């Protein structure tokens, strides 16, 4: 039975641990719950916020509407061919749980995305990525229900219009659909991605050679790296990477490289070079900075943190200061990856 609660604290439901409140709250555990909810006429015109694991959201105020927590579970292998295995997961499935399932069963493609916080339903919205791999590389399709009409629709890869930490669900279709399930295309013949970040170095420290390289060892390396650099949201409030890595034209990158020889960069096509935002922030002097309960993490400058009682607006104020500082020093604008509500 669908239960709608009133005046619910969202602090346990966002990894920044911001103490904001929802006027109304409901948990969705199956697709039928959505149709039941949409038939409640008293909520037709109520503003709605779709919330998964709350790992990529910054709440700056109470939400005077209905928060819909999507908790649809289930992982199922639906078909396979000579090269691929297709797996469907419910939108509420923990992302890392799905990655571990794939790694354990030899389904390749997700291993570099290990330990990313959040849920399956949020992953395509953000086109999550890490260590040289993005979700769109393993994405097949998703199903979603239109909030106003109740129409169920299947979105193909092309329909999602993926970009760098972007999709149609963050732009034209923002807040219009509830994603219920996502289908992934995993490889039977792995292609290993070990060039990005510290993966090769970490694999060497683990004693892994080319002969023993596997999706399991890559996943273990990524987990080791993330745990060494990123704060556990259960201990310190954060949403992982707060800013996107900026992409700049190669001539601009070359000028910056001449001025800052240690500047890292990764060609991404179209004569663009991706620069690690964390490096820029650290060079601008923000790494380890703290004011009150708000700060920049001491081990990873890309992560803004709530040490206890920071508000969403406190975090936003710090983010803007960091942005301005980086732009003044490098002439590069870094943009938030986190969704600010």
Q: Which residues are catalytic?
A: 165, 241, 337
Apex CA 328: angle with CA 326 and CA 334, to 5°? 35
Q: Which residues pair with 134 in a beta bridge?
A: 129
Task: Dump the DSSP string for 278-314.
Answer: HHHHHHTT-TT-EETTEEE-SS-TT-EEE-SS--HHH
Q: Could you give the 3-state DSSP secondary structure of residue 222?
A: helix
* Contact (CB, 8 A) for 246 and 334: yes
User: 221 and 206 in contact (C-beta within 8 Å)?
Assistant: yes
Going by C-alpha positions, the residue among 158, 160, 182, 157 that lies closest to residue 169 is 160
Give CA–CA dist 244/230, Å, rounded: 16
In this structure, are strands 4-9 and 294-296 parallel, antiparallel, or unpaired? unpaired
Tokens 């920044």 -> residue: 16
- The structure tokens listed for 215 are 């999706």
Closest CA to 141 of 129, 149, 153, 126: 153
H helices, E strands: number in the chain: 9, 20
């Amino acid at each position: 039975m669908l239960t709608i609660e009133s005046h619910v604290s969202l602090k346990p439901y966002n990894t920044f641990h911001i103490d904001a409140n929802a006027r109304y709250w409901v948990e969705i555990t199956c697709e039928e719950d959505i149709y039941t909810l949409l038939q409640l006429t008293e909520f037709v015109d109520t503003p709605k916020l779709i919330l998964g694991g709350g790992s990529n959201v910054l709440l700056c105020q109470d939400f005077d509407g209905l928060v819909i927590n999507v908790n649809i579970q289930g992982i199922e292998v639906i078909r396979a061919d000579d090269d691929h295995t297709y797996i469907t997961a419910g939108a509420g499935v923990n992302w890392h749980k799905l990655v571990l399932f794939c790694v354990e069963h030899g389904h390749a493609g997700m291993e570099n995305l290990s330990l990313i916080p959040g849920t399956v339903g949020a992953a395509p919205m953000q086109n999550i990525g890490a260590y040289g791999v993005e979700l769109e590389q393993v994405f097949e399709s998703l199903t979603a229900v239109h909030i106003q009409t109740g129409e169920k629709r299947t979105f193909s890869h092309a329909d999602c219009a993926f970009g760098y930490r972007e999709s149609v669900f963050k732009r034209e279709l923002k807040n219009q659909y509830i994603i219920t399930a996502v289908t992934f295309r995993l490889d039977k013949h792995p292609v290993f991605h070990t060039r990005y970040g510290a993966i090769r170095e970490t694999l060497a420290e683990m004693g892994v050679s080319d002969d023993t390289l596997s999706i399991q060892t890559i996943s273990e390396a990524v987990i080791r790296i993330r745990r060494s650099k990123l704060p556990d949201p259960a201990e310190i409030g954060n949403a992982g990477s707060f800013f996107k890595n900026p992409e700049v034209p190669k001539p601009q990158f070359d000028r910056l490289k001449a001025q800052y020889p240690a500047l890292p960069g990764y060609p991404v096509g179209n004569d663009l070079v991706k620069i690690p935002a964390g490096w820029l922030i650290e060079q601008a002097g923000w790494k380890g900075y703290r004011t009150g309960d708000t700060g920049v993490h001491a081990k990873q400058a890309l992560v803004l943190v709530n040490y206890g009682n920071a508000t969403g607006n406190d975090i936003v104020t710090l983010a803007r200061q960091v942005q301005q500082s980086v732009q003044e020093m490098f002439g590069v604008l870094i943009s938030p990856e986190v969704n600010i509500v």
